[in-house]
Amino acid sequence: MKARRIEAWLNEHEATIGRGLGPHIERPRSALFQHELERIVQPAADIRPLEKFSPPTELDGRQGLYRRPQAQRLIQAGNDYQAVLAWLRMKAGLTEEQKRGLKERRRQRDTGVEQPLGWLQLLSHTQRSYRKEAERFMLWVIVQKGKALSSVSAEDCAEYRDFLADPQPRSRWCGERSRERWSPLWRPFEGPLKPSVQRQAVSILANLYAFLAEQNYLMGNPWRAVAPPRMAGPSIDVGRSLTQAQWQFAEELAAEDVADALELPQPAGEGGALVPRALLALRMQFTLELLYATGLRREEAVAARVDDLRYVSFPVGDGEPVQGWTLRVLGKGQKLLEVPVPDPVVERLKAYLAARGLHPEPDDLGNRGAYLLGRHEDLVGAAGGRVANRGVGLSVAVQQARPADPRDPRDGIGAEALYAHLKRFFERCARKLRRADDVQGAERFTKASTHWLRHTHASHAIATGMPLEIAQQNLGHASLNTTTVYVTTEAKRRMQAVSDFWGKRRAAR
């Protein structure tokens, strides 16, 4: 009732406050078509995502101070906006198969409705990162400075570099991370950027202007004159990882969730469907083990399919061959990686596949195209709302009846959904540790995210003796220097030595 009164008040005073309610509020988010969401915020020369930003004619670059004549340019862009889009298209994008998979996971029911700049919804991780920085800079230059991108000077670039440390005014530039790009509450920043992120932004913008200069669109690159923000340490924060004890705690909690879910009734989902809680718990358990064992990035994990796994055998002289599973993934920069997957993790996958109603053997022909990490939130409970007692395996209980939902059980979870699920799990870890008076451990889990598992994998693997060059190959690092930041042996020795020195000093008193 309170919400209805607020709606009535907003409708009554729409002319006065200059804000109104759209028809989309009457329907749940899941029932809205993509093109309906896109109409909520109209294109304008204001704070808008790249696909909704419409630069004013006088600032679109056609009269840019440093723009070369059309006859000299190597790209066909007629203005700065089109030039940025051309640069973005040149970056390594998704394969056609990945694009199809992304569309499947998003369940876009209105794929027949043509969307302007629809390709911007199908970007690789690299392209999204580059879009974000170009989008921020374009908005700042045009909206705040009143200039065109092709009129930017080196002094403007230096001013923007400093702006990144504290975007002001906050009310105009900053908003919550969770706001979707179609929302009127979307903003380009969450708040001040860390020095490492500032440095990345400067590097990407220098790349943009280098491209425009190389294609003879601009007469030069003003970012070449700008020093990047100083870094106080390595670009990878190795502190963003879990200790051995914290990781073991997370593993044990995930195992408890699976065991408990086998005994509890399944909660009702949307439209009266039953959500298989045990299936969700098993996915979380497998996700944790997969990311910890391999160090995969979030985008790599959600894109991986069951048929990307293969069993390999390497002969070793006259002895027993070295055998095992490897997972082929397309890593950062479209680099193809072959990552070893331990046998126990594959065994966990087999149970998880069977629980989804798929064949438990990864190389079965029926599993072709199935994602490693499935989407289950709306699946109908296959075991009648209750999985049998703990003595009956989850894989057997669910395999006996395929879900009645028409959606393909091969469907995969999206990157943002995976992030949200892991964050909720880590928050549960934090609450349990807080109740156990482990304040420090709770604080770490509160901050933890999917990428923490990648750091945890690297730190633990190297600490237990994995050679650096092997860790580098598994992680897909271009440089060994990036991998060496995880080496903490010398730092631990120094800390222990100082601790021993101080302890002996006090004992001698």
Judge contact between 96 and 119, C-beta under 8 A. no
Q: Distance (Å, rounded) from C-alpha 4 to C-alpha 121?
A: 34
The residues pairing with 374 across neighbouring beta strands, listed in sequence order, are 412
Angle at 371 between CA 369 and CA 376, to 5 degrees: 125
Nearest alpha carbon to residue 349 among 311, 320, 312? 311
- What are the CA-CA distances from residue 86 to residues 30, 66, 96, 212 (Å)? 33, 18, 19, 10
Chain center to CA of 362: 26
For residue 316, which phi and psi values (nearest 5 degrees)? -130, 85
Q: Distance (Å, rounded) from C-alpha 194 to C-alpha 481?
A: 21
Per DSSP (E only), the strands in 320-377 are: 322-330, 336-341
Residue 370 tokens read as 């199935």
Q: Distance (Å, rounded) from C-alpha 293 to C-alpha 326?
A: 12
Q: Distance (Å, rounded) from C-alpha 61 to C-alpha 389?
A: 68
Judge contact between 356 and 409, C-beta under 8 A. yes
The confidence score (pLDDT) of residue 264 equals 61
Q: Is 82 helix (H, G, I), strand (E, B) or coil?
A: helix
Mean pLDDT by 10 residues, the chain (509 residues): 66 65 59 63 87 93 94 94 96 81 60 66 88 97 96 97 94 88 90 91 96 97 91 54 91 90 56 59 93 89 91 77 85 78 92 90 91 71 33 35 54 88 94 93 91 86 73 63 52 57 58
The confidence score (pLDDT) of residue 32 equals 58
Residue 364 tokens read as 């079965």
DSSP alpha helix (H) spans, 337-488: 343-355, 394-399, 415-435, 439-447, 450-463, 468-475, 480-484
Q: Is 160 exposed, middle or buried (0-12, 13-18, 19+ CB in 10 A)?
A: buried
Judge contact between 212 and 218, C-beta under 8 A. yes
- Domain residues of the chain, as ranges? 1-32, 40-109+117-225, 244-484
Residue 485 tokens read as 């930041």
The confidence score (pLDDT) of residue 389 equals 31
Q: Distance (Å, rounded) from C-alpha 218 to C-alpha 150?
A: 7
The residues pairing with 323 across neighbouring beta strands, listed in sequence order, are 313
Instruction: State the Cα torsion 184-188-193-196 to the nearest 10°.
Output: 140
DSSP 446-497: HH--HHHHHHHHHHHHHHTT--HHHHHHHHT-SSHHHHHTT--HHHHHHHHH
Judge contact between 402 and 383, C-beta under 8 A. no
Judge contact between 371 and 411, C-beta under 8 A. yes
CATH superfamily, with its number, for domain 244-484: Intergrase catalytic core (1.10.443.10)
**CA-only gyration radius of the chain, Å:** 26
The confidence score (pLDDT) of residue 470 equals 73
Neighbours of 479 (CB within 10 A): 8
DSSP 224-260: GGSPPPP-SS-SS-TTSS--HHHHHHHHHHHHHHHHH
The confidence score (pLDDT) of residue 193 equals 93
Q: Distance (Å, rounded) from C-alpha 457 to C-alpha 295?
A: 5
The confidence score (pLDDT) of residue 391 equals 31
* Length in residues, the chain: 509
- What are the CA-CA distances from residue 419 to residues 76, 339, 454 (Å)? 39, 22, 13
